[in-house]
Amino acid sequence: MNPPLPSPALRPSACPGLLRIVQAADGGICRIKLNGGSISAAQAVAVADAAQRFAGGVIEATNRANLQIRGIRGEHRPLIESLLAAGLGPRSAAGDDVRNLMLSPAAGVDRQMRVDTRPLAARLLATLEGEARLHDLSAKFAVQLDGGEALAMLEHPHDLWLSAFECDGQWRWAFGLAGCPTDHPAAAVPLEHGHALVVAVLELFLELARPEQTRMRHVLAERSLSSLLAALAERVPLHGVEHWQRSPAPSGLHIGCYPQRQDGLVHVGAVPPLGRLKASMLLGAARLSEDYGDASLRLTPWQSLLLPNIAQAEAPALSQRLHDLGFILSTDQALAHVVACTGSAGCAKGLADTKGDGQRLAAWLQVHGGPCQVHLSGCLRSCAAAHTAPVTLLAVSPGHYDVYFRDAGHAGFGALRARNLTIDAVGALLDAHPRSPLDA
């Protein structure tokens, strides 16, 4: 049963959702939170159709593996009803905000996977949507499940993360608070206690946090980690973690064709330029997933698509058809490594046309400097990237940016390298000082 349409009682928030359309300079934004980043071909068709009928045809892949429709005009009810009819809504209206659970885009098919996170994810999503006591969580409060996949976004900070590892012949979940799986874990629980652990952490957070404390880091700023673990141990048995290493995944694995753990099958990753899809691109990808795969698509935290369960022999033909739709399928393309927020073209807070400038910078790098991971942000909010990129351009005025290089010794975007540069000057700087994706 679909949830009721939003009423004035729907809690206020600056974060868009499926049931809460938030206004921007280019119109309304509807964010569709996907279950573990997955969407069926039929649902993708419904999103593309809604974008064409009720908005300007602009769809964005987000850095939390969701989709959002921009430029919504007129009455919102028909748009929302069409998405609910496609099964894209929550079980209850109040549960829409809290479905913030990230998995690997290759969960269940990745060759290096240790644990299939999808069963636990499904159980957790049902709990998050169905338990009224959890609906007080912030719309930004997020949980990550890491099954050990090669294709995994491990740099995005989460309020709670779980990562599978083996200890003395038994599989356990290591976990941490306000960080990511490349950090040292706070503790661990047996695999079968994963659901109980997550629920206990969420309940403990809601008990301790004041109304203005919306994230786990806010609570940890006032309370020690050891005190939180002591309170948590009264609810779930905890184990220590002595030896831990979860290295960042190699760059670029979300682009192109890679073998699955299932013999004879591959998954194909395709990047829409700067994370933005025309409705025709999403519609075309959905049709191709039906023709070549299992009629499903997966969104990724790199603002791209993954088509799973493709016969290896058919991957070249599929890749060509995706390319013809406008997707990027090669890591050699500089544009595949550039991310940019909506910018001044669609956001009142944006100080520069980051999408247009990102296109120009990628064209410059393609000729002169080669691929480089660059994030263009129209303001300090950093909406396009949840982690610190090797290079960040922070807009200061139309066409001009301050340049930051990621540096472990500096918080935020990193170390300030140059001020008020044009895009051409940024390109020359990056050509003179190339940055690896793993540069500190």
Among 67, 87, 44, residue whose Cα is nearest residue 285: 44
What pLDDT tens digit does each residue of the chain (440 aa) get?
A: 455 554 434 566 678 999 999 999 999 999 999 999 999 999 999 999 999 999 999 999 999 999 999 999 988 999 999 999 999 998 888 889 999 999 999 999 999 999 999 999 999 999 999 999 999 999 999 999 999 999 999 999 999 999 999 998 999 999 999 999 999 999 999 999 999 999 999 999 999 999 999 999 999 999 999 999 999 999 999 999 988 999 877 889 999 999 999 999 999 999 999 999 999 999 999 999 999 999 999 999 999 999 999 999 999 999 999 999 999 999 999 999 999 999 999 999 999 999 999 999 999 999 987 778 999 999 999 999 999 999 999 999 999 999 999 998 999 999 999 999 999 999 999 988 876 554 54
Q: What is the pTM of this model?
A: 0.94
| Residue pair 395/359 in contact by the 8 Å Cβ criterion | no
Show Cβ contacts of residue 303 under 8 Å, excluding neighbours closer than 6 positions: 60, 61, 62, 63, 271, 272, 274, 275, 339, 384
Number of domains in the chain: 4
DSSP 8-state assignment for residue 239: B
CATH number, domain of 279, equals: 3.30.70.3340
State residue 371's pLDDT score: 76
| Residue pair 256/268 in contact by the 8 Å Cβ criterion | yes
State residue 432's pLDDT score: 87
Regarding whether 86 and 126 lie in a shared domain, the answer is no
Question: Which single residue is written with the structure tokens 């892949």?
Answer: 61
Q: For 116, how many CA atoms within 13 A lie in the half-sphere containing its CB? A: 7
Regarding whether 120 and 85 lie in a shared domain, the answer is no
- Domain membership of residue 99 (yes or no) is no
Show Cβ contacts of residue 180 under 8 Å, excluding neighbours closer than 6 positions: 144, 154, 155, 156, 157, 158, 161
Q: CA dist 42 to 143, 288, 334, Å? A: 27, 12, 32
Alpha carbon 238 to its chain's center = 29
State residue 251's pLDDT score: 87
Say how far apart CA 324 and CA 5 lie, in whole Å.
Answer: 38
- Domain membership of residue 243 (yes or no) is no
Regarding whether 127 and 73 lie in a shared domain, the answer is no
Regarding whether 120 and 197 lie in a shared domain, the answer is yes
| Residue pair 58/47 in contact by the 8 Å Cβ criterion | no
- Domain membership of residue 167 (yes or no) is yes
Among 200, 186, 202, residue whose Cα is nearest residue 239: 186
Regarding whether 118 and 82 lie in a shared domain, the answer is no
- Domain membership of residue 103 (yes or no) is no
Show Cβ contacts of residue 361 under 8 Å, excluding neighbours closer than 6 positions: 338, 374, 376, 393, 423, 426, 427
Q: For 307, how many CA atoms within 13 A lie in the half-sphere containing its CB? A: 32
Regarding whether 357 and 326 lie in a shared domain, the answer is no
- Given 330, 349, 372, the domain boundary residue is 330
Show Cβ contacts of residue 323 under 8 Å, excluding neighbours closer than 6 positions: 329
Regarding whether 267 and 197 lie in a shared domain, the answer is no
The secondary structure element, H or E, covering residue 364 is: helix 354-367
Regarding whether 164 and 63 lie in a shared domain, the answer is no
- Domain membership of residue 295 (yes or no) is yes
- Given 330, 351, 374, the domain boundary residue is 330
- Domain membership of residue 215 (yes or no) is yes
Say how far apart CA 36 and CA 24 lie, in whole Å.
Answer: 27
- Domain membership of residue 4 (yes or no) is no
Regarding whether 216 and 160 lie in a shared domain, the answer is yes
Pairing label, strands 256-259, 187-190? unpaired
State residue 94's pLDDT score: 86
State residue 8's pLDDT score: 38
Q: Starting at the edge strand that comes first in sequence, how are the strands of the sheet with 374-377 ordered?
A: 338-340, 374-377, 391-397, 400-405, 415-421
DSSP 8-state assignment for residue 197: H
Most distant CA atoms of the chain, gap in Å = 60
Pairing label, strands 143-146, 158-167? parallel
Pairing label, strands 170-179, 158-167? antiparallel
SS3 265: strand
Residue 44, both tokens: 């993708």
The boundaries of the domain holding residue 193 are 114-147+154-233
- Domain membership of residue 15 (yes or no) is no
